Chain A
Amino acid sequence: MANKTDSNVYTVVFAAVMVVVVGSILAFLASALRPNIKENERFEKQQNILYAMGVNENGDDAGSVNFIPTDVVEDEFASYIKEQLVIQGDKITEDNEAYLIDLKKQLANIKKGEDYKLPVFIGEKDGKKFYIIPMYGKGLWDAIWGFIALDDTMTVQGVYFDHKGETPGLGANIKMRYFMDDFKGETILNGTQYAGIDVAKGNNDPLNNTKDDNEVDALAGATITGNGVSAMIRETVKLYKPYLETIRAK
């Protein structure tokens, strides 16, 4: 027996109505929640930048990653980050919203041969200067990004990594403290060359005692994500090399 829901007209009308209804629900939701989401993303960036320079609420145990709470992060960010710079070719300008620059877009501009902006954040803690540089690259499944904090000897003072969709338990562990803490004290220089830091398998240094080998111990089962991290650091260092040359203590 033919059912009224089997007719072609009904099917087309149903599909049209469904698309409109679902579309409007989602559009309404997206615009209603947008301000909240934007603010959360802003706080997160500030938290990440502060984390890289060692302003966080981590305890002494090598356990979890603890950021500055979101309700105070704005004030803390303003007090620790002394300067936000934007590098545009040879020009370096100050911009208090440099942290909102989307590095992904800038990297795309470089590829297209267009003008691009590179942000740098200069933080100060206990009288010591930190140069914090954003990074962006590719992991196994999706984007990875982070921040690296250097001092004027090009020694890493701290890093923060994050990812969009690396495998939980494997590649996703790049945002665990035991991995990120390994980078502290490593140098991105090899002699006077800007070499970056490699996530190396079998460097026979699981405790990361050797700090001048440009290597940290890799994560088991996360080869491609690890290679992505190495490549991301290498590319970033290459990109920022002219600026780093100007601040390096010689």
Chain B
Amino acid sequence: MALLSKKDTNLITDPLADNNPITIQVLGICSALAITAELKASLVMAISVMFVLGAGNVVISLMRNIIPSKIRIIVQLIVVATLVIIVDQVLKAYAYELSKTLAVFVGLIITNCIIMGRFEAFALANGPWRSFLDGIGNSLGYGVILVIVGFFRELLGSGTLFGYPVLGDPIMKTGLYATGYENNGFMIIPPAALIVVGIIIWVQRSRNPALVEEN
């Protein structure tokens, strides 16, 4: 193992499966409901969170010994907000189109509970490199769920993927629609995300009974 020790690798792989931030820790649900109506938005959100969480974890980790514990939550909030604003401003100046796509996510990133959760639970107690890996791992775990939910919601709700019609044209009745298939309008409203996430949790727990809580 050259680059990563086994413990370090676990920091990346654990959140992808048995310690997933959405399905196991049930964090970041708000944004998972809000923006998964289409695949592209899910992917953009996943990448933005990866950047903010990776960088934020490093910053908090570097500051962990000088942050007064009484105001640590506020300090964490300031770090996230600053990072997000810096990214937003730089994109506005040099990648205007992209910044417009991201504008709607800015508020959602700052309030994403996964970010505060990882700062609080990991970065405050670990070194920068491990914190960085933890940030990347958790945002990957978050992103995977987002993309899965986005895939099903866009496919079943709009019949498209990344905006491309894959099932035919619902108005001209071509492709699958010629057989009488209809888009499920329910899938594009937020409660549908809750159901998809619920199904993912169910599948995950039935495959790994160790995850099921004792009553």
Q: How far is the CA of A220 from the CA of B157 in the complex (A)?
A: 10
Instruction: Give Cα A33 to B95, complex, Å.
Output: 12
Residues of B within 8 A of A110 (CB): none
| B94 and A36 contact, CB distance less than 8 A | yes
Contact digits for A1-42, partner B, Cβ 8 Å, 1 yes 0 no: 001011000110011001000100110011001001100100
Q: Mark B116-156, 1 if CB is under 8 A from A, else 0.
A: 00000000000000000000000000000000000001100
* Chain A residues within an 8 Å CB radius of B157: 169
With A22-B78, A26-B85, A169-B154 known as contacts, the answer to whether A11 contacts B93 (CB < 8 A) is: no
Interface residues of A in 162-184 (CB under 8 A from B): 164-170, 172
Chain A positions within 8 Å of B189 at CB level: 170, 221
Q: Known: A221-B185, A221-B188. Contact between A30 and B89, CB under 8 A?
A: yes
Whether B78 pairs with A18 at a CB distance below 8 angstroms is yes
Does chain B have a CB within 8 A of A152? no
Specify the main secondary structure of chain B where it touches its partner: helix
Name the prevailing secondary structure of the A interface residues: helix
Which of A26, A40, A206 meets B93, CB within 8 Å? A40
B78-110 residues at the A interface, CB under 8 angstroms = 78, 82, 85-86, 89-90, 92-94, 96, 103-104, 107
Contacts of B92 in A (CB 8 A): 33, 36-37, 40
A67, closest chain B residue (CB)? B97
A44: interface (CB < 8 Å): yes
Nearest to B45 among chain A residues (CB) is A168
**Is residue B68 within 8 Å, beta carbon to beta carbon, of the partner chain?**
yes
Contact with A165, one of B96, B107, B153 (Cβ below 8 angstroms): B107
B68 touches A169 (CB 8 A): no
Contacts of B96 in A (CB 8 A): 40, 43-44, 70
Residues of A within 8 A of B89 (CB): 29-30, 33, 37
Q: A10 to chain B: closest CB distance in Å?
A: 6
Contacts of B74 in A (CB 8 A): 15
Q: Is residue A249 within 8 Å, beta carbon to beta carbon, of the partner chain? A: no
Nearest CB on A from B99, distance (A): 9
Which residues 1-37 in B have Cβ within 8 Å of A in the complex? Answer: 34-35, 37
A168 touches B104 (CB 8 A): yes
User: How many whole Å from B80's CB to the nearest CB in chain A?
Assistant: 11
A14/B86 in contact, CB under 8 A:
no
Which residues from chain A sit less than 8 Å from chain B, CB to CB? 3, 5-6, 10-11, 14-15, 18, 22, 25-26, 29-30, 33, 36-37, 40, 43-44, 64, 70, 164-170, 172, 206-207, 220-221
Sorted from nearest, which 6 A-B pairs have the closest CB atoms? A169-B37, A168-B41, A36-B93, A169-B38, A33-B93, A11-B68
Give 22 CB contacts A-B under 8 Å: A3-B69, A11-B68, A15-B74, A26-B82, A26-B85, A30-B89, A33-B90, A33-B92, A37-B93, A44-B96, A165-B107, A167-B35, A168-B37, A168-B38, A168-B40, A168-B41, A169-B158, A170-B37, A170-B189, A172-B104, A207-B171, A221-B188
Question: 8 more A-B contacts (CB under 8 A) besides A5-B66, A36-B93?
Answer: A6-B69, A6-B70, A26-B82, A33-B93, A165-B107, A168-B41, A169-B38, A172-B104
